[in-house]
């Protein structure tokens, strides 16, 4: 039973970490007033980038390449929604399509039409002495690849930046009342663009985790809708970095439960577990879990 619980927590973490990476950046973007449906594209871009980076420069190169590829997609998205004030939903959808198409094509062009599996070594697990020996939760929390620890650091830094710096305050103002923020001397466009690049970087890292820390390989479309999950996670996490991680864990747990039920052959509708986090998110939005309010200017371009 204990072993099963440990496995369950490990599976939870495995699903949650890439989602949390993507949702963390999405959270920042949305606090700045931009809903980024291109996050799915940044994940797949990061995943492919990490494959290229890792096969040329090793694992560290893979992590950096994931971040860079995600960042480039974020920057392109920023050009459209910030500079050209394009509709965020449509531009985001286009980013996702573009990244899926590019990575699929490049993958097939570089690694053959059969898409032969290619393996790269995965990031080693770093066990923190003592802590990783804690029963049940130890392995899930403290015997993780370096990227998981990177996530923890990024979450802390992001939370600090968002709430404890003037720049973070300014970004939140951009998401609430961009015209007022501009009148107060905030560079709305620049901050939003920065937030979108950051969102791309973290989503790219999320994609990198899929390749470098989990599967050791790339597959077409391996982002598998995680970008859309990330958007739900941000809502459920009430637009806060720490809440985002907790919500990602909930999604991870739901997915792990589903796998368990399916594997155990129990005749439970496992799809319910997969749908549950979304239903919870909807309930939260409807006000059943306290006040959940999106940034007031979410989805709107700054008109002048």
Partner 1 sequence: MRDTAPAIVLRGITKRFGAVAALAGADVVVERGTVHALLGENGAGKTTLMRIAFGLVAPDEGTIERNGRALRLRTPLDAIAAGIGMVHQHFSLVPAMTVAENIALGGRGAFSTRDAVERVRRASVAAGLDVDPTALAADLSVSMQQRVEILKAFAHGATLLILDEPTAVLPPRDARALLSQLRDFARAGGAVVLITHKLREALSAADDVTVLRRGATVFHARVTDATEDRLVEALVGARAAPVQSTHGTPRGAPVLRAEGVGVEIDGVVRLTEASVSAHSGEIVGIASVEGNGERELLRVLVGTQPIARGSVERPARVAFIPEDRHRDALVDEFSLTENLALGDAARRRGRMAWRSLGAEAQRVMSAFDVRASAPSVLAATLSGGNQQRFVIGRALRDEPQAIVAENPSRGLDVRATAFVHDALRAARNRGSAVVVYSSDIDELVELCDRVIVCFAGRVREVPATAAAIGQALVGAAS
Partner 2 sequence: MNYTLARNATAAAVVVCGTLALLAAIVAVAGYAPGPALEALWRGSFGSWYSFTSATLVRATPLIIVGIATTLAFRAGVFNIGGEGQLLVGASLAAFVVLGVPAGAWSVPLGLGAGAIGGAVWAAIPAVMRHRFGVLEVITTLMLNAVAIQLVGWLVHGPLQEPTHVYPQSATIASPAQLPIIASGTRMHAGVALALLLAAGAWWFATQTAAGFRWRAVGANPHAAAVTGRIDVARTVFIVFVASGALAGLAGAVEVQGVALALYESLSPGYGYTAIAVALLARLDPRAVVPSALLFAALEAGAGAMQRDAGVPSVLVKIVEAALILVVLAFDARQRRRLAVAVVA
CB of 170 to partner 2, least distance (A): 23
Rounded to the nearest 10 degrees, how much is the dihedral formed by the CA atoms of 119, 125, 126, 128? 170
Rounded to the nearest 10 degrees, how much is the dihedral formed by the CA atoms of 76, 79, 80, 86? 150
Q: Out of 6, 10, 61, 98, which residue is the one contacting partner 2 (CB under 8 A)?
A: 98
- Whether residue 211 contacts residue 50, with contact meaning beta carbons closer than 8 Å, is answered with yes
State the residue for tokens 């799809």.
271
Q: How is residue 123 annotated by DSSP? A: P
The region of 122-130, 132-140, 204-212, 231-239 touching partner 2 under the rule CB under 8 A is 231-239
The region of 94-102, 117-125, 129-137, 145-153 touching partner 2 under the rule CB under 8 A is 94-102
DSSP string, 124-137: PEEEPTTGGGSTTH
* Residue 105 partner contact from partner 1, partner 2, none using kind-dependent CB cut-offs of 5 to 8 Å: partner 2
- Whether residue 207 contacts residue 50, with contact meaning beta carbons closer than 8 Å, is answered with yes
Contact residues for partner 1 (CB under 8 A)? 163-170, 172-173, 176-177, 179-187, 296
Give phi and psi for 145, each to the nearest 5.
Answer: -65, 160
The reply to whether 229 sits near partner 2 by the rule CB under 8 A is yes
State which residue, 182 or 215, has the beta carbon closest to partner 1. 182
The reply to whether 264 sits near partner 2 by the rule CB under 8 A is no
The reply to whether 269 sits near partner 2 by the rule CB under 8 A is yes
CB of 28 to partner 2, least distance (A): 17
CB of 187 to partner 1, least distance (A): 7
């Amino acid at each position: 039973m204990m072993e099963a619980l440990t496995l369950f927590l490990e599976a939870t973490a495995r699903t949650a970490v890439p989602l949390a990476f993507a949702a963390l950046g999405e959270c920042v973007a949305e606090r700045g007033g931009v809903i980024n449906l291109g996050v799915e594209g940044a994940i797949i871009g990061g995943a492919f980038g990490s494959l290229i980076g890792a096969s040329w420069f090793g694992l560290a190169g893979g992590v950096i390449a994931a971040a860079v590829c995600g960042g480039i997609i974020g920057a392109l998205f920023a050009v459209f929604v910030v500079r050209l004030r394009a509709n965020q939903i449509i531009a985001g959808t286009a980013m996702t399509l573009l990244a899926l198409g590019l990575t699929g094509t490049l993958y097939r062009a570089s690694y053959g039409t059969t898409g032969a599996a290619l393996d790269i070594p995965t990031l080693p697990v770093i066990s923190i002495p003592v802590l990783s020996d804690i029963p049940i939760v130890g392995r899930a929390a403290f015997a993780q690849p370096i990227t998981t620890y990177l996530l923890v650091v990024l979450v802390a830094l992001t939370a600090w930046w968002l709430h404890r710096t003037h720049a973070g305050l300014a970004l939140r103002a951009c998401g609430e009342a961009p015209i007022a923020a501009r009148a107060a001397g905030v560079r709305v466009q620049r901050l939003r663009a920065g937030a979108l690049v950051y969102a791309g970087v973290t989503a790219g890292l999320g994609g990198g985790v899929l390749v470098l820390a989990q599967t050791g390989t790339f597959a077409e479309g391996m982002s598998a809708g995680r970008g859309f999950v990330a958007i739900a996670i941000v809502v459920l996490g009430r637009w806060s970095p720490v809440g985002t991680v907790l919500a990602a864990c909930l999604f991870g747990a739901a997915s792990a439960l589903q796998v368990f039920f399916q594997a155990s052959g129990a005749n439970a509708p496992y799809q319910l577990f997969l749908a549950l986090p979304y239903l919870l998110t909807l309930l939260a939005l409807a006000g059943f879990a306290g006040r959940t309010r999106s940034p007031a200017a979410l989805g709107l371009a700054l008109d002048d």
